[in-house]
């Protein structure tokens, strides 16, 4: 860091803790790269949209002091309770302005304690879907609003993206059009976040001891189809990617990974256990005779080709996930992946 400051004098205008936090980010990025999770992306000071202050932050009413920047006004949406101290401050740029997130600490506040596995009796299973966002093992279905994949949303995105592409590069009009496009994306993201918190709270507030979740490989589910080539002519054949593109967009819009993280967070906050189980064949396995067959499922209907048992396919999958979690808790199988 001293060598970088000597080579770039403008570093003197940046708080030292901000620079240290960025070095930590870079270290994390390279660790992820060596673990096979993508190469770090270069960011210059013009497109850096977030930074963190580790100390020196003060708040007085509707004003906040940031080192090297001084006092400035801000909307204090949530006052800091008495007895808490400021540990860090993250500043983030979004399309409609800058946002400040304060991390506070009070050592007298006890840590959340998770219920021991031995005390787990009631479990509710959750099956993620597209037509319905979540299917619960008690028969409840939570609707999927499809914020970015509705006809109106897709049309609006198409128009605004086209307006950006038609403007001259690096022009003011292109920046204005890009800002409008970004504001629409932000609106969709904010709606999705608010709805997911509502759904997660609805699930976790049930009178249960644990929540059984699918251990999904979402990136693998959204991976491109394998290329098919005609051995004689060498020409590319149809591999179903154009049809799968719509499914990938629906999966991305549903944002299962973010919803699962919110459920795990609220479960830990309420002292409940979140158990991840393998969802393989959960919607194709008959709950009556155990027969597994792809033809058992026809859309949302489940009719066993072996014994004739029938029910709603996704609700049945949620019940199977619940039963697998109970088996893991009772020690009938391998140890579960537990999030606390």
What pLDDT does residue 111 have?
A: 79
C-alpha distances (whole Å) from 71 to each of 14, 39, 275 are 15, 37, 46
Each of the 340 residues of the chain gets a pLDDT tens digit; together they read 888 888 888 888 889 999 999 999 999 999 999 998 888 888 887 778 899 999 999 999 899 999 999 999 999 998 888 889 999 999 999 988 999 999 999 888 777 777 777 888 899 999 999 999 999 999 999 999 999 999 999 999 999 999 999 999 989 999 999 999 999 999 999 999 999 999 999 999 999 999 999 999 998 889 888 899 988 888 998 888 888 899 999 999 999 999 999 999 999 988 899 999 999 989 888 888 888 888 888 888 889 888 888 899 999 999 999 999 998 888 754 444 444 3
Q: What is the pLDDT of residue 239?
A: 87
H/E run at residue 133? strand 132-136
3-state secondary structure of 327: helix
Residue 332 has a pLDDT of: 56
Global pTM value: 0.86
Taking only the tens place, the pLDDT of each residue in 9-42 is 888 888 999 999 999 999 999 999 999 888 888 8
209 is catalytic: no
Question: Out of 15, 209, 264, 314, which one is annotated catalytic?
Answer: 314
Active site residue 105: no
Which of 15, 127, 253, 285 is catalytic? The answer is: 127
Exposure of 236 by Cβ count < 10 A (0-12 exposed, 13-18 middle, 19+ buried)? exposed
Contact assessment for residue 138 and residue 314, using Cβ atoms and an 8 Å cutoff: no
Q: Which of 214, 253, 264, 285 is catalytic?
A: 214
- Strands 210-214 and 123-128, by their bridges, are parallel
List the structure tokens of 151.
Answer: 């006809």
């Amino acid at each position: 860091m001293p060598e970088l400051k000597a080579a770039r004098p403008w570093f003197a205008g940046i708080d030292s803790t901000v620079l240290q936090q960025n070095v930590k980010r870079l270290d994390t990025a390279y660790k992820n790269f060596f673990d096979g999770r993508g190469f770090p992306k270069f960011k210059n000071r013009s497109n850096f949209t977030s930074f963190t202050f580790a100390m020196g932050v003060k708040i007085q009413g509707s004003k906040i002091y940031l080192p090297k920047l001084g006092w400035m006004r801000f909307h204090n949406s949530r006052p800091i309770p008495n007895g808490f101290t400021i540990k860090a401050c993250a500043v983030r740029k979004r399309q409609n302005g800058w946002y400040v997130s304060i991390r506070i600490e009070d050592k007298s506040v006890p840590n959340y304690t998770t219920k021991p596995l031995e005390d787990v009796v009631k479990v509710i299973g959750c099956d993620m879907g597209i037509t319905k966002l979540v299917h619960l093992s008690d028969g409840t279905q939570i609707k999927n609003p499809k914020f970015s994949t509705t006809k109106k949303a897709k049309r609006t995105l198409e128009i605004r993206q086209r307006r950006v592409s038609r403007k001259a590069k690096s022009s003011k009009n292109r920046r204005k059009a890009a800002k409008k496009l970004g504001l629409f994306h932000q609106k969709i993201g904010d709606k999705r976040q608010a709805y997911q918190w509502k759904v997660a709270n609805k699930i976790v507030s049930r009178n249960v001891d644990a929540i059984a979740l699918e251990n999904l490989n979402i990136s693998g589910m959204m991976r491109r189809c394998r290329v098919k080539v005609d051995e004689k002519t060498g020409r590319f054949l149809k591999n179903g990617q154009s049809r799968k593109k719509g499914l990938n967009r629906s999966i991305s819009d549903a944002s299962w990974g973010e919803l699962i993280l919110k459920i795990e967070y609220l479960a830990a906050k309420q002292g409940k256990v979140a158990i991840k189980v393998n969802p393989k064949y959960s919607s194709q396995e008959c709950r009556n005779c155990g027969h597994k067959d792809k033809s058992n499922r026809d859309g949302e209907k489940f009719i066993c080709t072996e014994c004739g048992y029938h029910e709603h396919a996704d609700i049945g999958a949620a019940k199977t996930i619940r039963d697998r979690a109970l088996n893991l808790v009772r020690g009938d199988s391998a140890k579960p992946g537990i999030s606390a």
